[in-house]
Amino acid sequence: MKKILSILLSVVVIFTLAGCAAKKEAVTTDKKIIKVGASPIPHKEILEVVKPILAKEGYTLQIVEFTDYVTPNTALAEKQLDANFFQHVPYLTEFSKSKGLDLTWAVKVHIEPMALYSAKYKKLSDIKEGASIAIPNDPTNGARALRVLEKAGLIKLKTGDLISKIDITENKKNLKITELEAPQLPRVLNDVDAAVINSNYAMTAKLKLTDALAVEAKDSPYANVLAVRNEDKDKPYIKALSKALTSPEVKKFILSKYKGAVIPAF
């Protein structure tokens, strides 16, 4: 009898622990507070539009602001965030591969055309021999910036995705191309002849796309995405956030607020 009671007690304990584990998993899976890292413009502004949409679904959105391209991904990988919203697919892919992070994306939200800005010149033809041009120093945005210069007719490049300065095949004006941290580019416009700047940093610096000397093609593959950990991609709160980010309300906001400087990707 004692043996039978012992077995029954063990079974009860196992089921109790299993139930607790299941309950804990349910709490984790169905969390109601979602912490998302984002750059100030336009990502944080877009997330502010998402807040009331998620609130109707029972979720609270907490936005953590970042001003660099590194910390948001490391914070996501270390589970300090549930998601981040600041980057395009090629950058996420390259960063995750180089750092060994298990990150992916849940949904494409918008495209931010890169553009060539100058405080000295009003048109491309004014750019002189030996002019200095600054571009982002990370591989994906640097390659993207070089393509903007190529499209503008200033240089020619080899084919490929992650091209760099060494892949310039023609530079008739002997342009001096300098690589800098992306957030610094608007601040150095008075120190260089021109700079290819990401749209979010350009908007933060009050630079207008209509004043740019050259703009990235509208069919750019560099859509900004909601980045998440692979293990969380299909969880209910990520699906709710993804749905809200691609809602009609968000599309209307992007079109009316940014007037072409940011383009919906859904």
Question: pLDDT tens digits for 107-135?
Answer: 999 999 999 999 999 999 999 999 999 99
Helix, coil or strand: residue 54 = helix
Cα 199 to Cα 171: distance, rounded to the nearest angstrom = 25
pLDDT in tens, 185-239: 999 999 999 999 999 999 999 999 999 999 997 777 899 999 999 999 999 999 9
Superfamily in which the 115-215 domain is placed by CATH: Periplasmic binding protein-like II (3.40.190.10)
Question: Residue 49 is which amino acid?
Answer: V
For residues 155 and 43, what is the distance between their CA atoms, to the nearest angstrom? 32
Contact 104, 225 (CB under 8 A): no
pLDDT of residue 29: 57
**What tokens does 152 get?**
């503008």
Reported CATH class of domain 31-112+223-264: alpha beta
Residues 6+ apart with CB under 8 A from 95: 69, 70, 73, 87, 101, 103
Tell the residue number behind the tokens 């609270």, with chain if given. Answer: 60
CA distances from 242 to 31, 139, 144, 167, 250 (A): 15, 27, 26, 38, 11
Axis-axis angle for helices 45-55, 248-258 (nearest 10)? 160
Residue 11's pLDDT band (cuts 50, 70, 90): very low
According to DSSP H, which parts of the chain are helical? 2-29, 45-55, 71-77, 89-99, 139-151, 199-204, 236-245, 248-258
Residue 250 vs residues 54, 218, 244, 245, 258: alpha-carbon distances, Å: 12, 19, 8, 6, 12
Tell me the pLDDT tens digit for each residue of 58-109.
999 999 999 999 999 999 999 999 999 999 999 999 999 999 999 999 999 9
Structural domain boundaries in the chain: 1-26, 31-112+223-264, 115-215
Which of 233, 248, 222 has the alpha carbon at shortest distance from 83? 233
Confirm whether 31-112+223-264 and 115-215 share one CATH topology: yes
Say if CB 262 and CB 111 are below 8 A apart: yes
Q: What pLDDT, on a 0 to 100 scale, did the predictor assign at position 130?
A: 98
| Residue 9, pLDDT above cutoff 70 | no
